[in-house]
Structure 1
């Protein structure tokens, strides 16, 4: 007689594996699950013993998934996401006519919120929740999708490319006029407003100068942890901010900020819409996703 109706291993072993595989770290999985790394390792060894095959390749500085591990991760990620969405619907006691979308605070203020307002004009009965935070979106099954610069490390998430931006120094009109045609050496000596964020995919001032071939020093005199604050300081002539040209297009169009030419860099990464695959999204979530993609592609800068 089977000891389990679905012939599944203990769910604790599957949960430990999924977290460790998603993070590619037993330590990070242990933090998420509020257990010790040893407990995570024990659960995974038990699962590997039951399946009769290794799921991880143990390396000197971490772990990687075997082919079997990748297959299991994809299956569990899809299944856990569906379970989470079903439980959310049951808790709310309604059918899913709500969409939750995430972004950084700057993306929300400068791009996403205005786009959602336009979407609401066409679909006023659909509820859209926004979650804005300036740190990576991890372990948020309540979010249908989020806007991200660069690819997310979670292999189970679906990535839809949106656009590639251009990076250019921006300043107040007065300061920008003084720096017209300035060399990279002159720009590096200005007060540069550096963005300090947990998400290291964002291009920094040091990255920007290096990609343009500048080998001199790039002093760090001013740090902020919010891109919106960086733009505000630049508007007040407190220094130069690194402008994501398409993202801040409304501020450039109104000349609240002005590009300091001629130096410009194509962003190393694209912006993506990241989240569950379309077949796991509600009709409402798919409608908003389609709207965002079509609006981005219809807009040129």
Structure 2
């Protein structure tokens, strides 16, 4: 339904009518008294009636104002109730987190046995998509995304910077460095469309770059890891995600040559959730697991 007058003008009148004070209405609406007066004059001009009249130092409602005020009061109360119920549900319900499938499978899933789901404020609802969803539209509350941290209108906290390396099934490429480079020149290289810096790795390899016989670009970085582990070829993959498959003995670094991807994994959320306890709980837990991962890597070095 189209409202034929500005909503801000109706809100200004509703507050002024309830308080019978321009100053108190301005304090409630966080605007100046002159702004409230301007909105009232605009509303009266558009309706062609006087709504509030000053009698000495007091404000009084006219007959027209008395007819309009109760409906507006009820309407804005219903709006406040609906908004409050939505905010309450978002605050007390599970935190809805959107994650790249590869991160969910290879980094998060192996650690979920450590997540305190049973504690108040730690409930999660996890969805995975290859592309970032619209957090501003409420599709999810937060995301764990891969990129440079620049998402307009959103806050982004760096979880960890990513490194990339070339991986294959154990024994897929053997011999000296030159022999392995020769073998890989006849291989199929699987590259995710999210891996924007794979050429950087190729160009930085001593004795390289490698020119594979075939380059297969796929939608999922998880698929590149799986294809390499199954012997379908080799894969440029994020080291921090490949670690779980390496520990299982299904994957190995061909040259042990990790290179910065120039990108990272970020916890992304709207500014409205900056003080959300559930988000703070998840962020703290993620950072604890990341510190453990770094400590394990340092101990193994």
TM-score by length of 2: 0.61
Question: Could you say which residue in structure 1 is the equivalent of 2:202?
Answer: 209
Name the CA shift for 1:183/1:271 in 2 (closer, same or farther; >3 Å): farther
Name the CA shift for 1:278/1:299 in 2 (closer, same or farther; >3 Å): farther
Measured in 1, the distance between the counterparts of 2:91 and 2:238 equals 38
Tell me the CA shift for residue 150 of structure 1.
1.7
Question: Could you say which residue in structure 1 is the equivalent of 2:245?
Answer: 251
The number of equivalent residue pairs is 220
- 1:83-162 aligned within 5 A: 90=86, 96-120=92-116, 123=119, 126-139=122-135, 140-162=137-159
Note the aligned Cα RMSD (angstroms): 3.5
Larger radius of gyration: 2
- 1:1-301 aligned within 5 A: 3-6=5-8, 90=86, 96-120=92-116, 123=119, 126-139=122-135, 140-176=137-173, 178=174, 181-182=177-178, 185-186=181-182, 189-197=185-193, 199=194, 202-212=195-205, 214=208, 217-277=211-271, 279-300=273-294, 301=297
TM-score by length of 1: 0.61
Post-superposition Cα deviations, 1:47-97, rounded to whole Å, max 9, x if no partner, equal xxxxxxxxxxxxxxxxxxxxxxxxxxxxxxxxxxxx9xx859539968523
**Do the aligned partners of 2:145 and 2:265 also contact (CA within 8 Å) in 1?**
yes
Consecutive unaligned residues in structure 1, runs of 5 or more: 9-82
Deviates more, 1:134-143 or 1:161-170: 134-143
Tell me the CA shift for residue 162 of structure 1.
1.3
**Do the aligned partners of 1:181 and 1:260 also contact (CA within 8 Å) in 2?**
no
Measured in 2, the distance between the counterparts of 1:239 and 1:111 equals 22
Deviates more, 1:124-133 or 1:229-238: 124-133
Measured in 2, the distance between the counterparts of 1:291 and 1:219 equals 43
Name the CA shift for 1:180/1:276 in 2 (closer, same or farther; >3 Å): farther
Tell me the CA shift for residue 230 of structure 1.
1.7
Tell me the CA shift for residue 207 of structure 1.
3.7
SS at match of 1:110: helix
Name the CA shift for 1:290/1:102 in 2 (closer, same or farther; >3 Å): same
Measured in 1, the distance between the counterparts of 2:132 and 2:224 equals 19
SS at match of 1:232: helix
Consecutive unaligned residues in structure 2, runs of 5 or more: 11-78
Tell me the CA shift for residue 158 of structure 1.
0.9
Tell me the CA shift for residue 234 of structure 1.
1.0
Name the CA shift for 1:184/1:172 in 2 (closer, same or farther; >3 Å): closer
